[in-house]
Structure formats: structure tokens, C-alpha cells
Structure 1
Amino acid sequence: MTPAAIVSKLWNYCNVLRDDGMSYGDYVEQLTYLLFLKMADERTKPPYNQKSNVPADYSWPTLVKKDGDELFDHYRHTLENLGNEKGLLGLIFNKSQNKFQDPAKLRRLIVDLIGSENWSVMSADVKGDAYEGLLEKNAQDTKSGAGQYFTPRPLIQAIVDVIAPKPGETICDPACGTGGFLLAAHDSLVDNYPHMTKDERKKLKQGTFKGWELVQSTARLCAMNLMLHGIGSDDTALPLAVSDSLAADPGDRFDIILTNPPFGKKSSTTIVGEDGKVAKEKETVERDDFWATTSNKQLNFMQHVKTLLKQHGRAAVVVPDNVLFEGGAGETIRRKLLHECDVHTVLRLPTGLFYAQGVKANVIFFDRKPASETPWTKKLWIYDLRTNMHFTLKTNPLKRSDLDEFVELYNPANRKQRTATWNEENADGRWRCYDYEDLIARDKASLDIFWLKDDSLEDSDNLPEPGVIAAEIVQDLEAALEQFRLIAEDLGEEEELS
């Protein structure tokens, strides 16, 4: 069965459950619990013959044998008890709850949908892509807020294509959400290096990736996503930590960092740690390894990424526009980053890409360098994919092919040989560079640079479709509202807004 067919089969059943009040997110979580138990049972049989880490009293066969209220009670006890386990079981089942209202519908999901497939014999591509499909559908439900953890996959693919990971390199995402960057990097290595040695393949599975995720419910989806793709399938190799990655320098250093940190200046997120303790996320991060102290999470993540990189390590970070122009700590961090790292590329992203509303974002690419009296950044290349580009989530979603020109011009094989497409004769060129001296001379060392004319302001015949205009107005209003909300929070009005 194809990934699309599996997604369709599982997702159609969600529409039945929504009549009982189950949300998309609840449904994906319940699928995660049951898929894990089913696959754990499959691995105990030939040809695998592996010992299961699931206690026998709460294994898949115990669910299949029960029905009605007895099944309901047993399923609830199974979730509670497995949530108290350590390691992988605790990560998957911590704080888990039964969200079904009807025992018959739970029974049908167990027997007819999940139980009717042998998930372990499916290739990692098939079942992994199927699960990714479910996560994307969940992200499309804007009411659930799940979209904030989901980065558009075509964008991720283009970023990984230009970063071009190699076997043996370590790869990290300190705000990994459902694991999109880690999985794309894994797929890139498998596709581009089909003749890896046995040791290289073992390292790919167990020693290449590391992710941090703050929210427990998102971390469990990430863990399942990684497992279904064949990454970290046992306790010792699970490359995922449920914690606030900004809280401290973990000491680990990586060759590559790919990340889309959560947007928003402050957060009221309740953190449930692996030990079950509840805490509130800190508003201001103070660390000795940071250049500046600020409550802006994206600026803190930029500093954190620099810390996590090995010397000559390379990073790609998705950031909102304010990171490029904000004064105060923002200016300090940009000047330090330009001096101590080679900040070589910025990709200006169009609106309409993200499920979180009001987002105008960019991707900053930089390499960490050794200490130097002279700045490492010589030239910053900018690709403008925003001006006169119109995308929507449903009618005109971003495709990987929309980023082909950027990937080609980035020239991952040799970044030193780049050619601008903008010049005085070709004023519509989307690719041009700026010298370091020009950058630091700008007000607040702003990297929010654009040069293309907006056609819709010049010629009414070039106006996009009304629906696109309406969507962009909503984006702008959402972005403005977010900025006003942050200002109000700084003025002590947070409680009235919440």
C-alpha cells in the first residue's frame, strides 16, 4: 500500500471520530500509541525475534483480545503504566490519555485499521512518508495550533540540498518539532551516498542526529517519526531530548545545525520534563556564552546555534524578519555574528508558507569560524523569493521546484563561485551580494535588505488574485498584532491579553 493510500485510510477514520469530539491532534496521538505497540509486537516475531521492551501485561495482543468496557479500561491502564516507564516508552507514553469516547471505535482502529497491516515489513520510506502525511494534515488544522511545529517540507528539502550533509557529519536541530529537518538530512545522505560502509550506516542510525523539543506532545510525534524512518529505534540510540534547549549549553558540538525555532518573543508554554515536573519557560535567557541577554527567543536561538556549531560547522536557521532589523540586543548579535562567523547567505521567504499566521521569515546560512581580529563575513548573498511571489497553503502551495533557482545560484559545490543575477541592466534579478563594509554601515547593521520593485504597486494589471490579496492582508494584520502584543507584554499588560 502506498503512503498516500495509508494516509487516506487512516485519515478518513478521523472524520468519524471527530463526531465524538476528538481533534486532529488527539487522533494522531492515539495513532502513535497504537502504532508503537503494534510494531513492538511485530518485532518479536520472525524474522526479527527481538525482545520487546513493552511489559507483557500491556502489549499489543492484550488489546486485541479485549472488547467493550474491558478494552476501554485496559487501554487507559496501558497508557498510564507505560507513561511511568523510562527511556523510549516514557517518551512515547508520558502524560498519555485515552481520548476515545466509544469502545467500538477504539476496537475498530485496533483491529481493522492498524491491526490489518504489517507495519514492520513496510519500507521506512513507505511508513515514514505515511506518518509525515498525517502530521502535515494535522498541521493544516489551524485551530489546533499544530502548524507552529511543522516547517513546509519543500523548504526543508531545499535547505538540506544546499547544506549537502556528508557521511560522518553530526547533525542537530535544537527546536526539532516533529523532526522534519533531521529526516530530510537522513534521506539526503541515504539518496546521495548509496554505497556507505556498514560502519557509516550504523553511525547514520545511531550517532548522526540529535534533536531537542520543548513540548512533550510534539516530542512524542517526533520520536515516532524518527522510529518509522529507521532512526533511533532502541533506547540507547534515540537522538531526542525533551527539554528547553536554550536553558544551558549542553556541551555537544555539531557539524551541521538545521532549525526553525518557534516564532514569538515570549511564551507561556508549560513544560513537562521527563521526570514529570511542570515548569514555565523562562522569559529572559542569561548565559555566559551568549553575546547579549534578551527575551527574544529567535535572537537567543541564533546565539545558541553559534555555540552548538563545531569550528567550520555550518548552519541554516529560519528566522522572522525582526531578527534582521531589531535594535538593541538584535544589533549587538548581528554585528557579533558577522564578525565571528561567515554569514554568507540569506533567503527571503514569501508569505503564505507557514501554518502559523502572520509570519514573514528568512533563512540565514552561516559557518562558525575560529577567533579572528578581522571579520569572517566578506560578502552576504541575498536571494529574494518574497517580492512579487504569492503562495497560499491550499490553492498555490510552495513546491520544491519553486526553489530550484535559489539552489542553483547558491552553488553548494563551490560557494566561492557565485554570479549575481541582479545588475543595472537586469533590475529584476533576485540574487545579489553586499560587502561586509556596506552591511555594518547600515542603520543598526540591518540585514533586512530588498531592492526589487513591487509590481502590484506599479501596475494594477499585475495584481494577484483577490484571495491571495486577502490572505496577505491577514498575514500583515497578524504580524502587526503580534508586534503590538509583544509591546503590551513588555509594558506589563500580558495578563489582560491572555
Structure 2
Amino acid sequence: MSDQKFREGGRLITLRDVVQRVIGEYGSSVFEGVFLKALQNNDLTLASNSNEGKVLVEIWDELVRFSFYDQSEEGSLGECFEWLLSFFAEENMGRGGRFFTPSGIVSLMVKILDPKPGEKIYDPACGAGEFLVEAVNHVRRTSSDGGLFVLGRDMSPSLAFVAKMNVLIHGVVENCIEVKSVLSGDGYSTKISGHFDLALANPPFSLRNWDGGGASEFLRYGIPPQASADFAFIQNLLFSLNDKGRAAIIVPMGVLFRGGSEKAIREKMLKEHNVEAVISIPSMSFYGTAISANILFLRSRCVSDEVLFIDASSFFIRSQRLNRLDVDAVERLCRLYSSRKNIDGVAKCVSMAELEVNDWDLTVSKYVVPVSSVSKESLASLSEQQARLEQELSFLQQEMKRLLGSLED
């Protein structure tokens, strides 16, 4: 076990001290058998990034507040750990909240992809491992036959540690999480390319100065600009799929309309029938960012030659801190996705011809126009819409500054 040192009350302690204290004073057999095993299997992970390792001490300090004496099943322990992750994500929304995706959005993406027993699932930016865990739980809820083959990667050692602990608590083989920068392309052709039935990801938005030197194995539609790695993550995900594979990835607004090499990649994806649907998510719905985002649903080859666009803003429960999707909203969105019906102000299927006329722009608001009901709307609702539009304008202005800056570099 790592002997990394941290400060507590002015004195240096090691992670070993923290773990032994928790187990000795508060631990049950379940606690020791699961958490201690996770730590013992992650020496290299812990030792490789001491600054981020401080988060682990915070996790253990939070865990000691709970009683584990009556915990005899993995399920209850898993629920506790999931709550803890969401707690940390909300408490740190302004700094690094990306590591954990809200549960409603995770549930929506997994339910639409509908994992089956025996399938293989991949997440190239797995963060805390929530997509992988939810996919496994989905299979357990819907079938009694077997499980999933799971592979998650993350460039952050401390996040990989959290993911390893998360999957282990939920009864998934613990060596399925790797510390690796997927954009380097290391091992892609032998271990990733064409191997997976489904893939999900919430990668960092518009990562700058990314290393694309070894990524030629999956940058088959083109090389994205150094100012934004969004389409590198998208292609890494897309080309991990087998012939019948499907995928979902969370992306920022700019992915849908930016020009240059990104437009060329987007056009190829559409012409090759890789894009099945785009769902827009309102602002204030993700940890760590107030901007709007979107979910791209991809396939190796779509059955339909139309792309489904859904504006999901009306499905979210509004909140000043974080908008949420509840269980009922997830079910309604899944039914809407499956039906592929045109509904004014909510959903529309768009042909390739119309997409070409619109210069291969995938912005949902270009195709799904809100139903006009100004006279019936309350002042609070209008104010909310104005705030959302102002946030989107601010995001577009930031995108323009970033693109101008990249031209000057």
C-alpha cells in the first residue's frame, strides 16, 4: 500500500494510517473485504500522483461518518459510495466537478443503449466509473444471464483509483480500469479498435494542447485542432465499436457547429451514417460547468438515414444549483427516443438533405423550434429562458475568443 504523506491537523500522516484507523475503529468485514482490497491493489495508482491523492484522504474522512456494522450486502455499500461521489461532485462544482456525471443523465444514456448480457462496454474517460457501474446494474436488473465485459480508462491516477473502488464495490472485476491517456493511442489497435458492443463517455470539454502524435489509429476521419480534443474523443469512441456497436458521448455546443477540420469530421460521420441522434441538455445540468451540453448517440451504421433531434430542456426539474432528470423523465425520454416521432417544440427527425443544406450543423435549436406561447408564459419562465440564452451567448463568445487565440498560437 502506498506510503504517500498528507497533512492532518498540522502533522504528517500516510494513507496507510488513515485506512487502518477507519478499519480498526469503524470497520466491518464487508468494509474491510471491499475497501482494503481496493487500496491494496492500487499502489502504483496512489504513488503516481500525490497532489490528487489528497482527495482519497477526504473520501476516507467522509466514510468514517457512516456505520458499516449492519452492511452485509454489496448493494447498500455501493449506494453509499455513489451518494458520496455525488456529494463531492456537488460540493466541488466550481472546480473539477467533471469527474462525476449526474445520475439521471447516466441512466438516460445507459437505458437508451440498453446493454445486453455478454456484451463488451468501453469508457475512454471513465472518471469515477459511473457509466460502467450503471451499465452492469442495468444488465442485472433486466436479465439473469451473465454480465458485461468492462473496460474503463482515465488519464488521472486518482480518478482511476476512485473508479476501481466503485466497480469493485459493485461486484465488477477490479482490473478493468486502466490509468492511460486514450488520446495517445497506446494499445488502441490491439485492445480497442472494433472490439466493443457499446461505449459511453463524458470526456473533458474542449481539451487544449492534447497529444495527437500517436492517435492515428483512431483519427480516421481527420485530425482535430490542437485547441480542442472533442473530436479526438468522439473518434476514439466511435472506432472502438464492432459492426453493430452503439455509443453515447457528452459534448459541448461547439462540437455541433464549429467549422474547419471539425466540420469535415462531422460531415464524414453523417455521410457514413454514424450519427443516430442528438439530445440537447439545458445549462446548469452538469457538475463543474454552467454551459449547455449535448449527448451524441452514435452507431457503426445507423438503420435510419435520418438524425433524431430532441430538446430535453422541458424534461428537467429546474433548480438554481443543478437541474435534474428524475426516473419518470428518463422513461419518457427513452420512449420518445424509441418512437422517433416528430413533436413540435420537442423532437424532429431530419434528413441528410436538410442537414447538408444547413452545412452539416447539428445544433438542436436549428431543427427543433420551441412552440410559441409567450402570452401564456409566466415572468419567471421568461426570465429563466433569458438567463439560459445569455449563458449560451457567453459560451459562444468564449468559443470565439478561444478560436481566435488558437489562430494566434
Is TM-score (shorter-chain normalized) higher than 0.5?
Answer: yes
Counterpart position of 2:268:
336
Amino acid at match of 1:174: P
Distance 1:302 1:339, change over 3 A: same
Q: How many residues in Structure 1 have an aligned counterpart in Structure 2?
A: 385
CA contact (8 A) 2:200 2:247 kept: yes
1:403-422 pair list within 5 angstroms: 403-411=330-338, 418-422=339-343
182, 185, 203: which is aligned to 1:245?
Answer: 182
CA contact (8 A) 1:455 1:462 kept: no
Counterpart position of 1:154:
104
Counterpart position of 2:288:
356
Measured in 2, the distance between the counterparts of 1:306 and 1:111 equals 38
Measured in 2, the distance between the counterparts of 1:420 and 1:53 equals 49
CA drift at 1:481: 5.5
Measured in 2, the distance between the counterparts of 1:34 and 1:481 equals 47
Counterpart position of 2:164:
223
255, 259, 262: which is aligned to 2:197?
Answer: 255
Measured in 1, the distance between the counterparts of 2:126 and 2:244 equals 22
Amino acid at match of 2:234: M
Amino acid at match of 2:152: G
Counterpart position of 1:117:
68
1:446 aligns with 2:378: no
Distance 1:327 1:303, change over 3 A: same
1:367 aligns with 2:299: yes
TM-score for the superposition, normalised by structure 1: 0.66
Distance 1:215 1:381, change over 3 A: same
1:475 aligns with 2:379: no
CA drift at 1:229: 1.1
Amino acid at match of 2:127: G
Measured in 1, the distance between the counterparts of 2:392 and 2:31 equals 54
Cα deviations by residue, 1:55-110 (Å, 9 ceiling, x for unpaired): xxxxxxxxxxxxxxxxxxxxxxxx9xx7xxxx53323554347869xxxx99x969
Measured in 2, the distance between the counterparts of 1:421 and 1:477 equals 28
The SS at the match of 2:181 is coil
CA drift at 1:361: 1.3
Cα deviations by residue, 1:128-148 (Å, 9 ceiling, x for unpaired): 111111111111124662311
CA contact (8 A) 2:125 2:203 kept: yes
Distance 1:288 1:151, change over 3 A: same
CA drift at 1:190: 0.7
CA contact (8 A) 1:390 1:468 kept: no
1:209 aligns with 2:150: yes
Q: State the superposition RMSD in angstroms.
A: 4.1
CA drift at 1:183: 0.8
* % identical equivalent positions: 23
CA drift at 1:339: 2.5
89, 93, 103: which is aligned to 2:43?
Answer: 89
Counterpart position of 2:348:
432
Measured in 2, the distance between the counterparts of 1:95 and 1:396 equals 33
Cα deviations by residue, 1:149-208 (Å, 9 ceiling, x for unpaired): 121110110111111110010001111111111011011011111x22xxx35xx4xxx1
CA contact (8 A) 1:391 1:468 kept: no
CA drift at 1:353: 0.4
Amino acid at match of 1:367: R
Counterpart position of 1:462:
378
CA drift at 1:42: 3.8
TM-score for the superposition, normalised by structure 2: 0.79
1:315 aligns with 2:247: yes
1:293 aligns with 2:246: no
The SS at the match of 1:191 is helix
The SS at the match of 2:198 is strand
Larger Rg: 1
CA contact (8 A) 2:107 2:330 kept: no
CA drift at 1:386: 3.1
Measured in 2, the distance between the counterparts of 1:480 and 1:419 equals 30
Distance 1:181 1:489, change over 3 A: same
Distance 1:111 1:386, change over 3 A: closer
The SS at the match of 1:176 is coil
Counterpart position of 1:60:
none
Cα deviations by residue, 1:24-54 (Å, 9 ceiling, x for unpaired): xxxxx97997399849994799xx8x9x879
Distance 1:168 1:348, change over 3 A: same
Distance 1:35 1:178, change over 3 A: farther
CA drift at 1:265: 3.9
Counterpart position of 2:95:
145
Cα deviations by residue, 1:209-239 (Å, 9 ceiling, x for unpaired): 0001111221111111111111124xxxx11
Distance 1:477 1:132, change over 3 A: farther
Measured in 2, the distance between the counterparts of 1:410 and 1:36 equals 49
CA drift at 1:408: 0.6
CA contact (8 A) 2:278 2:295 kept: yes
CA contact (8 A) 2:155 2:181 kept: yes
Report the more deviating stretch, 480-489 or 326-335: 480-489
Distance 1:386 1:31, change over 3 A: farther
CA contact (8 A) 1:350 1:385 kept: yes
1:94-113 pair list within 5 angstroms: 94-96=48-50, 113=65
Counterpart position of 1:379:
306
The SS at the match of 2:245 is strand
CA contact (8 A) 2:167 2:173 kept: yes
Measured in 2, the distance between the counterparts of 1:146 and 1:30 equals 22
CA contact (8 A) 1:354 1:393 kept: no
CA contact (8 A) 1:139 1:145 kept: no
Measured in 2, the distance between the counterparts of 1:377 and 1:461 equals 36
CA contact (8 A) 2:30 2:72 kept: no
Amino acid at match of 1:261: P
